[in-house]
């Protein structure tokens, strides 16, 4: 029985399918991990952008005039509350004397929520507050 064998045997076909299946599952796991990582990176970038927007917006808020409030940013909204850290003081005018404003340092807690009212992130800021309490005397 010296016949030449042609083609694959059943055992070789099963081994080949097992190898292909293992490689496919490994490739699928790698792609799945990459997609999950991409989603986490996108969420982190969105949060970083929102944090930068909130900090920029809060720089324009005067906590002495508006101690608490809220603002809409389209995909999310923020709410803030502030409390004074120390005593309110008169500012100093140049070159000397009492200025037109009273100033104070405030702790401001900012909470960001998604549109679905789920908490997203919170920030703790220190902001200066001011209030005009005097009028300028014209010397000239």
pLDDT (tens digit per residue) in 82-101: 999 999 999 988 887 888 99
Residue 4 within a domain: no
This prediction's pTM: 0.74
Three-state SS across the chain? CCCCCCCCCHHHHHHHHHHHHHHHHHHHHHHHHHHHHHHHHHHHHHHHHHHHHHHHHHCCCCCCCCCEEEEECCCEEEEEEEEECCCCEEEECCCCCEEEEEEEEEEEEEEEEECCCCEEEEEEEEEEEEEECCCCCCCC
Residue 30 within a domain: yes
Q: What is the mean pLDDT of residues 22-36?
A: 97
Range of the domain at 55: 10-132
Q: What is the mean pLDDT of residues 26-30?
A: 96
Q: What is the mean pLDDT of residues 11-20?
A: 94
Residue 54 within a domain: yes
Q: What pLDDT was estimated at residue 4? A: 67
């Amino acid at each position: 029985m010296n016949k030449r064998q042609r083609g694959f045997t059943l055992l070789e076909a099963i081994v080949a399918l097992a190898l292909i299946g293992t490689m496919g599952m490994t490739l699928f796991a790698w792609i799945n991990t990459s997609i999950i990582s991409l989603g986490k990176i996108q969420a982190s970038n969105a949060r970083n952008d929102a944090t930068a927007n909130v900090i920029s917006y809060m720089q324009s808020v005067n906590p002495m005039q508006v101690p608490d409030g809220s603002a809409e940013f389209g995909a999310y909204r923020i709410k803030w509350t502030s409390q004074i850290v120390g005593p309110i003081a008169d500012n100093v005018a140049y070159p000397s004397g009492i200025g037109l404003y009273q100033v104070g340092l405030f702790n401001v807690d900012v909470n960001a929520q998604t549109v679905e009212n789920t908490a997203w992130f919170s920030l703790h800021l220190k902001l200066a507050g001011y209030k005009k309490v005097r009028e300028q005397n014209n010397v000239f």
